[in-house]
């Protein structure tokens, strides 16, 4: 099951996109395979204890996720697209926390408007990361 979830994530991910662009696509991935999301979430929570049998696998996956997102933020910083004063690892941990929390929230309450929530978060994230000054409204 975990291998299936990891394979599904990798197949759907486009690492050429920015982290913000990738966030826009995640909700559709959740909707495409809710059974994988549910099983993954249950296994994750059952393996939070360092002595749990799958703890190391989940910890590695978490750290890899943070690292992949942080690399995307660093690419954006080098390109001048993202603010240079942001700590990529901290922002990546925040993004992973949002994704994990949304998995659980949506599984608990499937009426959550997943696409809209992800769109709003992506818009907010874009504003937070952006190196360009915010446009001023009259």
- Integer CA distances (angstroms), 39 to 5, 16, 44, 53, 136, in order: 9, 28, 8, 16, 45
How confident is the model at residue 136, as a pLDDT?
53
How confident is the model at residue 119, as a pLDDT?
95
How confident is the model at residue 134, as a pLDDT?
57
**CA distance linking residue 31 with residue 114, whole number of Å:** 8
Residue closest to 102 by CA, chosen among 49, 17, 23: 23
Pick the CATH number of 2-129 from 1.10.357, 1.10.3470, 3.40.1350, 1.10.1790: 1.10.357
Per-residue pLDDT tens over the stretch 60-99: 999 999 999 999 999 999 999 999 999 999 999 999 999 9
- Integer CA distances (angstroms), 136 to 110, 132, 133, in order: 36, 12, 9
For the chain (138 residues), the mean pLDDT of every run of 10, in chain order, is 70 78 88 89 96 96 95 95 97 97 95 96 96 62
**CA distance linking residue 115 with residue 44, whole number of Å:** 24
Domain boundaries, the chain: 2-129
């Amino acid at each position: 099951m975990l291998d299936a979830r990891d394979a599904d994530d990798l197949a759907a991910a486009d690492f050429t996109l920015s982290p913000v662009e990738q966030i826009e696509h995640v909700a559709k991935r959740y909707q495409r395979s809710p059974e994988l999301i549910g099983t993954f979430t249950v296994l994750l929570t059952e393996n939070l204890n360092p002595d749990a049998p799958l703890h190391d696998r989940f910890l590695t996956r978490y750290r890899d996720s943070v690292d992949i997102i942080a690399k995307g933020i660093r690419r954006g910083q080098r390109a001048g697209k993202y603010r240079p004063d942001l700590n990529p690892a901290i922002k990546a941990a925040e993004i992973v926390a949002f994704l994990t929390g949304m998995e659980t929230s949506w599984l608990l309450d499937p009426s959550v408007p997943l696409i809209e929530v992800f769109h709003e978060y992506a818009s907010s994230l874009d504003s937070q990361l952006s190196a360009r000054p915010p446009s001023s409204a009259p």
